[in-house]
Amino acid sequence: MLSTEENDLLTHVGPGTPMGEYLRRYWVPALLSEEVPQPDCPPVRVRILGESLISYRDTDGVVGLIDNYCPHRRASMFFGRNEECGLRCVYHGWKFDAEGNCVDMPSEPAESNFKNKVKIAAYPTEERGVVVWAYMGPPDRRPQLPDLGWASCPEENLFLTKCLQECNWLQALEGGIDSSHISFLHSSLKPADYTLTVSNSDAQGTALQDKSPRFVLDETEYGLIIGARRTTPEGKYYWRITPWMLPYGTIVPAEEDAVMTGNMYVPADDNTSLVFRASWHPRRALTAAERTEYETGGIFHELVMPLSYKAYANKGNDYLIDRTKQQTVSYSGIKGIQAQDMAVIEGMGAISDRNKEHLGTSDAAIIGARRRLLRELADFQEGIEPYAPQHGDLYRIRSAAVKASQDMSLKAVAAESMIL
């Protein structure tokens, strides 16, 4: 468990908080490119790291990310006019470019130079992997973009969406690195229907037969390699290997030629988070059937509602739980892996009271990630800048779901199976 003070340290992300300032040393996924689809399109609201922002694509195609509040009288820039390479506040006509400069102030006399003294807070953006990334930290510490496999592959190899979760980012992240719950939460009462988030194979059945995996962790420069080890009937180890990439990235364990799924658990504020979910294949385009499955349902049947990015199965409708099916078909009675995860993660409350937990050996990954984050924050508060954001190439890795002989260590298995 964590103390109340440690829990607060890890979960509070607003400006000026230790975690908030630490996270601002990294590029942050802010929105999907499709939310600002063409030049001079309507602006959109963005809530990231406790800040209310507005994004727009200007006439030249540059994506701006600026403060929601006009520095004149604090009117919302969401209602602004996106025109001629700037966003113009409709209250008095003040206009700002993507770098935050005031380029027009028609309410002031023509001879006035007041506009040269006024700026609006603005953050640099870059587009990669159909995502608009933002850097919200000190200009002199601007990091490299993480060289994630899904962010670097051709668009035809990739499907990406996002979903709003009504809980703190750490809860969402911890759900993503917990490999023991798959034997329960995501299981079926009918073994023939049992499927996980890796491609179909007989290895999946191991997670149904062996419900108490042994965890092995390896520290890396980018975060952790988390190995959940189960013993197969023929005496081998079945490893589900999850990379946790500082600060909020994971890749779901997947077999060698499977379509992979990666998640970025991004804090919107202390009480809500955004999950950017990518499904991609590093070596080929997604098939029509695969793309249709991701676009229309499949295991992620809880597709998000347009514009809100809130899941159809959500807290307000009890995630569409079917108590009859819970007795006869599935362990949870909830359809869809993401809806199942959201039910238990959001059910902990906006910020889980970790002081009341009782952790066991199956929680080794959770414990390891918390310790690493606390160590990162302690170093950061001592003036030691984080290493990973300045080395984007560290992130060019994949997950794994493999069988191996019992004499192979996690490090050896990872070295053979996690390189893209």
DSSP line for 239-293: EEEEEEETTTEEE----TTSPEEEEEEEESSSS-EEEEEEEE-SSSPPPHHHHHH
Q: Express each pLDDT in 154-193 by its tens digit.
A: 999 999 989 999 999 999 999 999 888 887 898 888 755 5
Q: Express each pLDDT in 394-419 by its tens digit.
A: 999 999 999 999 999 999 999 999 98
| Residues 61/282/341/358 CA torsion (nearest 10 deg) | -110
Domains and CATH numbers, the chain: 27-141 (2.102.10.10), 149-417 (no CATH)
Residues of the chain below pLDDT 50 = 194-201, 298-302
Q: Is residue 32 a contact partner of residue 55, using CB atoms and an 8 Å limit?
A: no
Nearest to 368, CA basis, from 253, 219, 240: 219
Q: What is the pTM of this model?
A: 0.92
Q: Beta strands of 273-392 (E only): which ranges?
A: 273-280
Residue entry with tokens 């300045």: 390
> Which pair of structure tokens corresponds to residue 398?
């994949």
